[in-house]
Structure 1
Amino acid sequence: MNIPQISVIVPVYNVEKYLTQCIESILSQTYQEFELLLIDDGSEDNSGSICDHYSNIDSRVHVFHKENGGVSSARNMGIEHAKGEWVCFVDSDDWIDKDTFEYITGLWKGADFLQFGYRRTGGTASEYSYVPSKVLRYSTSVYCTKRIYHSAICGYLLKLNIIKKYKISFPNHIKYGEDQAFILKTLICSSEIVI
């Protein structure tokens, strides 16, 4: 396989109930130039076996098993092993629409930081993140004044070379808000933002 455009990092811990749907939603993307890194964070259920199954049937899937250290350490391990130009984080109980990557590829030219929408579903209610009705491009300083970023890491595509150049990582010492800390650090180091 050539160097992938996108590295998709999925931290995995005791999510056998949701994991297949998550992985299938990624592997069924209409845009195929990606790698999928499944980081098994010491799962005690069948999650690790599910990861291994997909790595055996699809060469884009790479599995890493580690001792449990939390979601931040799992995502950081994914960053260490990522080879794509861009990195995208998907939580193991989430799924993405099949044309997500194809749509995004038409927007990333000149960008360092790309934000897209997400929706939360539960029962009959859906909660949508704010996304403008048209594509917007901002410098970092202007974007920050708009206050339209959201704190969930699942709605971003980020340049891997910026993350590595500035040694940005998820903080292991906090359990909540680690997404926002990572997003804001990456944002500060980016030049052009696309929403």
Structure 2
Amino acid sequence: MKLVSIIVPIYNMETFVSRGVQCLKAQTYPNLEILLIDDGSTDGSGIACDQEAQMDRRIRVYHTANRGAGPARNLGIQQATGTYLHFFDVDDFLYPNAITLLVEAAEKTGVDLVVGGFSVDDHNRNQRWVPKADHQYRTGEQVRRHFYPYMWMFGEWGILQSVCFKLFRTATVRKHAVSFPDLRRNQDEVFLVEFVHIMKDVYFIPDILYRYFANDHARLFRKVPYDYFPIVQQATRRIMELVLSWNPKNRAVRDKLLQDYYYKTFQSIWFLFNPYRKRSHRQRYRRMVEIVESFLAALPDRSFGENAAVYRYMCNRQYLRLYLRMWYFTWKHRND
């Protein structure tokens, strides 16, 4: 049986470590190594990881300075000895047969990437199921040439956004030196686009393998206490550089990338109102103007199918209206 390396970045997740590791230990596929990367946690996460390692010889723990999930996963890739790589977030859940199904598909097809289905739980415990295409094979060239359906995480062909519920061939990652960028967020999307850029082929299975627990607003504010827009700019620049090189004439793909850029810029402005960051109205307003000006300057054109009021305020530089709208949005969703 081929060895599978499961890489788990952990930062201040003490209350989730035991539950998360337990679902990995419960996998029906036994030939695993579980790499817990303690990313400079300031709570008891590191101790909890060490305790788990003492109870199962398949677990190895690495303690690092805090640099974010991307560099933590890169360390896991460097230390992995498995034929395949799987990435797991410790506050989510992996169904017991997940690795078995992923490995069976990879061994049967010899592909570089296997993509399975997942479910999403919001904080109200509403669950959405997202199965993937039913045992369908695509070459990397097919994916790159007609990329639009593969951009939607919640579609049956979706590849982007999350590296979880997937299995990667380790040799392919290392041969092409695919790695996560040194960013606090959006690392997964950049990694996946880099991988799609070089992959030979991909196989989809419909089975629900992974249960993802979405962040509510309060938890998201705690996770993003920093200025998010520079991350958006850097990630978007690299993603567009690669994706638009595959088929420059595909307008639907270009518009989707620009819509994503707008949405993340919207988030960047919203995060200025984070209650865990003490900013004055003047400071928020000034930074909001800087973000919008930088966003507009980077747009090749402003016609990509977006008609939201916030976008119109941005394009017309109606900054007071924009500020009041974002303040109201934050207040309205303060308990979501």
TM-score by length of 1: 0.92
Note the C-alpha offset of 1:4: 5.5
Worse-superposed segment, 121-130 or 16-25: 121-130
What CA RMSD, in Å, does the superposition of the two structures yield over aligned residues?
1.5
Q: What amino acid maps onto 1:177 in structure 2?
A: N
Within a 5 Å distance, the mapping from 1:19-168 to structure 2 comes to 19-109=17-107, 110-122=110-122, 123-132=124-133, 134-144=134-144, 145=146, 146-147=149-150, 148-168=158-178
CA distance in structure 2 between the partners assigned to 1:31 and 1:88 by the alignment = 13
Q: What amino acid maps onto 2:190 in structure 1?
A: A
Contact 2:160–2:193 (8 Å) recurs in 1: no
**Whose helix proportion is higher, 1 or 2?**
2
Note the C-alpha offset of 1:124: 2.8
Confirm or deny that 1:192 pairs with 2:190.
Answer: no
Contact 1:114–1:158 (8 Å) recurs in 2: yes
Note the C-alpha offset of 1:130: 4.9
Contact 2:102–2:166 (8 Å) recurs in 1: no
Contact 1:88–1:158 (8 Å) recurs in 2: yes
Higher RCO (CA < 8 A, seq sep 6+): 1
SS of the equivalent of 1:154 reads: coil
- Asked which structure has the greater CA Rg, the reply is 2
CA distance in structure 2 between the partners assigned to 1:4 and 1:64 by the alignment = 23
Worse-superposed segment, 72-81 or 182-191: 182-191
CA distance in structure 1 between the partners assigned to 2:181 and 2:69 by the alignment = 10
Unpaired segments ≥5 residues, structure 1: none
CA distance in structure 2 between the partners assigned to 1:189 and 1:129 by the alignment = 26
CA distance in structure 2 between the partners assigned to 1:124 and 1:93 by the alignment = 15
SS of the equivalent of 2:8 reads: strand
Q: What amino acid maps onto 1:120 in structure 2?
A: V
Unpaired segments ≥5 residues, structure 2: 151-157, 205-336
Contact 2:119–2:127 (8 Å) recurs in 1: yes
**Whose strand proportion is higher, 1 or 2?**
1
TM-score by length of 2: 0.55
SS of the equivalent of 1:55 reads: helix
Sequence identity of aligned pairs in percent?
A: 27
Contact 2:18–2:52 (8 Å) recurs in 1: no
Per-residue CA deviation, residues 133-178 of structure 1 (Å, 9 max, x unaligned), is x111110122342422231111211011111111111000x33321
Runs of 4+ in structure 1 displaced over 6 angstroms? Answer: none
SS of the equivalent of 1:108 reads: helix
CA distance in structure 1 between the partners assigned to 2:160 and 2:191 by the alignment = 12
Aligned residues: 191
Contact 1:4–1:83 (8 Å) recurs in 2: no
Note the C-alpha offset of 1:182: 0.4
Per-residue CA deviation, residues 48-104 of structure 1 (Å, 9 max, x unaligned), is 111101111111000000111111111111011000011000012111001111112
Contact 1:129–1:150 (8 Å) recurs in 2: no
